[in-house]
Structure 1
Amino acid sequence: MTSREPVGIRRLEAIHYYVHDLDRSRRFYTGALDFAETAVSDDALAARGKQKSVIFEAGAVRVLVSQPVGEGGRAWRWLQKHPDGVGTLIFEVEDAAHTLRVLESRGATPISDVIETKDDLGTFKTFSITTPFGGSTFRFVQRDRYDGTYPGMKKHATPQGGKNAFGFLGIDHITSNFETMSPALLWMEHVMGFERFWDIQFHTNDVAGERESGSGLKSTVMWDRKSGAKFANNEPKRPFFRASQINLFHEDQKGDGIQHAALGVKDIIPAVRGLRERGVRFMPTPGTYYDMLPQRLEETGVKEIDEKSDILRELEILVDGEGLKKYLLQIFLQDSAGLYGEREAGPFFYEIIQRKGSQGFGGGNFRALFESIERQHKMEGRI
């Protein structure tokens, strides 16, 4: 790709999650994941936006969760079309006016001009654009000595809830599903200025031999080189398009959209053990995965890992990598609908990842994840 003027992204700062039940989210983030509740919307913001909002944080992970109050607000409009899900990604930028100028010159569709708020906390500037990510938008924020989170959000004097006992570090990457991803990839490249980072395509084992079902995908990771923000993007791969997990996600989501967010951790083994003790459920991994693990480590060139395989098997943690002792460890929570037993909770889920020298995306584990989702769909009688 030819060199493009950077849009000035500093980091992917937060995800904005729209839900039917904010109290359920509070129990999940503070009670299960040990996030701290750090801020709530004030009365004026709730009345103006017709939604109440809470910020949950752990390390550099920030999740803004909003529930409708009456009709007409952004959360209400999202939930008229979709189940609970991530409707906005929030990026911190160096200069909001510059970012808007560059994006608009490349064909972005702004929802507003830069909106500036000046108060006793400082100066805050923001604007949003539409995206090909289903109904999700991108929001860009700039702070000039702004001692707050977002205008209208009141910080708690003392954060409430958890203490980040599981060592969450930040948002490692975002993964989205599309019925056809080429338009999204072109938009990310030519509008956002992202570059291609990694790709893979495969089918699950169920398409082997004479089987008549299975699931396949093509995946391409795009990234913003300066900030390091990464976006994995999936589409179905023939045959069996309609039975593919990407298509089933599309049906559950009622459109394309953000499938999961990966949260980095310092040490995945105590994190997963502690989360399981709190009742958090993960997508299952068959024992055969660990039977084949030594062979896979040889084939990928990783050869040796620091962790004991029996502990990884016990906790169902996945391993992948490339090159000598360059690997990652990851595991996937059940999706929200599965965690809560309610379809309206949506198909979004979290990944937990620890990187040990690898900057890849666990190509072998993509297959393991998809086979795990496929087993769940079979149990539900969906395929």
Structure 2
Amino acid sequence: MAAPARRLCHVAFHVPTGQPLAKDLHRLFGFQPLAVRETGGWKQLALRSGDAVFLVNEGSGPGEPLYGLDPHHTVASATNLCFDVEDVDGAARALAARGCAVPVPPTSVKDAQGTAIYTVVNSPAGNLSFTLLQRAGYRGSFLPGFRRLPCTPGPCWVSHVDHLTLACTSGSSPTLRRWFQDCLGFCHLPLSPGEDPELGLMVSAGPGRGGLRLTALQIPADSTVPTLVLAESLPGPTNKQDQVEQFLARHRGPGLQHVGLYTPNIMEASEGMMKAGGRFLTPPEAYYQQPGKEEQIIAAGHKPSLLERQGILLDGNKDMFLLQVFTKSLFTEDTFFLELIQRQGATGFGQNNIRALWQSVQEETARAQGA
């Protein structure tokens, strides 16, 4: 591997001036402002919930935003993943030797709290770039060049990033999997017994709906890097676009479709976010009427009526359960959403929940189009 990732530092977004992402993350989803930088035509605001940090780059300037790259993308988008690495200089050389474009060479940034070195590498996943960061000696609250903001108490609904899901073009997952393996040290994480890494997990969305191919990747257990999930559409019997294809069209190519945020209490988190004005997808009515679903929910220690009221999906068996709920898009272009996830022993992603999410998004799209 060229540059083994050790920890996710932050997820960065590029939005136009006035776009409300930063306000929504704070007001609706409980993220607290952490640090800010305003110069050169950019406002960069870092927000945190637990160990999950989002960096919102707003505006545009003559140069690049600090610790990132301006992709000149046509829609608001999640555009950069920043990982801690041990040796930025060595990583940049190794990646360049593999043919990777390194538009920002190793750069040192210093302030009174210490020094950080970073480089930015392009990825084969659309407009998504990767910042590799070396900051072992930095003592500040975020990164050099940013001004720390006053610490204010927040609801603490989210503890960390559980996973990152990329929407990919059909047939591209094997190539992307090899790139993440060779360049950043990811390896295949089977989602079903005996799963072929070249094929991934194929999930049917139901009769007449096509389906998904999911390929999960992870870093060895000594890191705290979230699971990376590659999602691509399986051909269906109709020409109607599914949500991955809709993302590719609206986003103008592959990219980061959603971030899964881990919460220790999904009931409390989703209820708090809803009361604050957060909007969530409504599962299909039939989801909670499936044979055995009520017994499954009770076995997991929850009340079926409460989960249904809040739109929370539950999958699993015995003592291994997974609870998930999904927000509506945070952008008008429908190019990014958040997921809340709580694990009760489960490590996968729940095939029944994937089907329910698929149908929920399809129904939401139909309602938005007046169908």
Structure 1 residue 305 corresponds to structure 2 residue 295: no
Question: Would the aligned equivalents of 1:200 and 1:220 in 2 still touch at CA under 8 Å?
Answer: yes
Per-residue CA shift, 1:78-98, capped at 9, x if unaligned?
Answer: 3x4331111100111222234
Label 1:368 to 1:121 Cα distance change in 2 as closer, same or farther (>3 A).
same
**Cα distance in 2, alignment partners of residues 16 and 336 from structure 1:** 14
Aligned AA (2:355):
R
**Count of residues paired in the alignment:** 354
Q: How does 1:80-119 map to 2 (within 5 A)?
A: 80-119=72-111
Label 1:178 to 1:164 Cα distance change in 2 as closer, same or farther (>3 A).
same
2:13: which partner in 1? 17
Aligned AA (2:253):
G
SS of residue in 1 equivalent to 2:283 = coil
1:245: which partner in 2? 243
1:153: which partner in 2? 146
Q: TM-score, normalised by structure 1?
A: 0.85
Per-residue CA shift, 1:108-131, capped at 9, x if unaligned?
Answer: 332233212233221211011100
Per-residue CA shift, 1:176-230, capped at 9, x if unaligned?
Answer: 11113232122112322311113421332241xxxxxx24221111111242431
Q: TM-score, normalised by structure 2?
A: 0.87
**Cα distance in 1, alignment partners of residues 368 and 19 from structure 2:** 28
**Cα distance in 2, alignment partners of residues 119 and 336 from structure 1:** 34
**Cα distance in 2, alignment partners of residues 382 and 205 from structure 1:** 23
Unaligned runs of 5+ in 1: 208-213
Question: Would the aligned equivalents of 2:282 and 2:360 in 1 still touch at CA under 8 Å?
Answer: yes
Question: Would the aligned equivalents of 1:297 and 1:320 in 2 still touch at CA under 8 Å?
Answer: no
SS of residue in 2 equivalent to 1:367 = helix
1:41: which partner in 2? 37
**Cα distance in 1, alignment partners of residues 185 and 349 from structure 2:** 21
Alpha-carbon RMSD across the aligned residues, in angstroms, is 2.5
More helix by share: 1
Label 1:244 to 1:30 Cα distance change in 2 as closer, same or farther (>3 A).
closer
SS of residue in 2 equivalent to 1:252 = helix
Label 1:10 to 1:374 Cα distance change in 2 as closer, same or farther (>3 A).
same
**Cα distance in 1, alignment partners of residues 114 and 291 from structure 2:** 53
Label 1:241 to 1:221 Cα distance change in 2 as closer, same or farther (>3 A).
farther
1:223: which partner in 2? 218
Q: How does 1:192-203 map to 2 (within 5 A)?
A: 192-197=184-189, 198=191, 199-203=200-204
Identity of aligned residues (%): 25
1:255: which partner in 2? 253
SS of residue in 2 equivalent to 1:62 = strand
**Cα distance in 1, alignment partners of residues 63 and 258 from structure 2:** 27
SS of residue in 2 equivalent to 1:289 = helix
Structure 1 residue 164 corresponds to structure 2 residue 154: yes
**Cα distance in 1, alignment partners of residues 183 and 60 from structure 2:** 34
1:327 to 306, 321, 324: 321
Unaligned runs of 5+ in 2: 192-199
Shift of 1:368: 0.6
Question: Would the aligned equivalents of 1:171 and 1:262 in 2 still touch at CA under 8 Å?
Answer: yes
Question: Would the aligned equivalents of 1:103 and 1:192 in 2 still touch at CA under 8 Å?
Answer: no
Label 1:363 to 1:52 Cα distance change in 2 as closer, same or farther (>3 A).
same
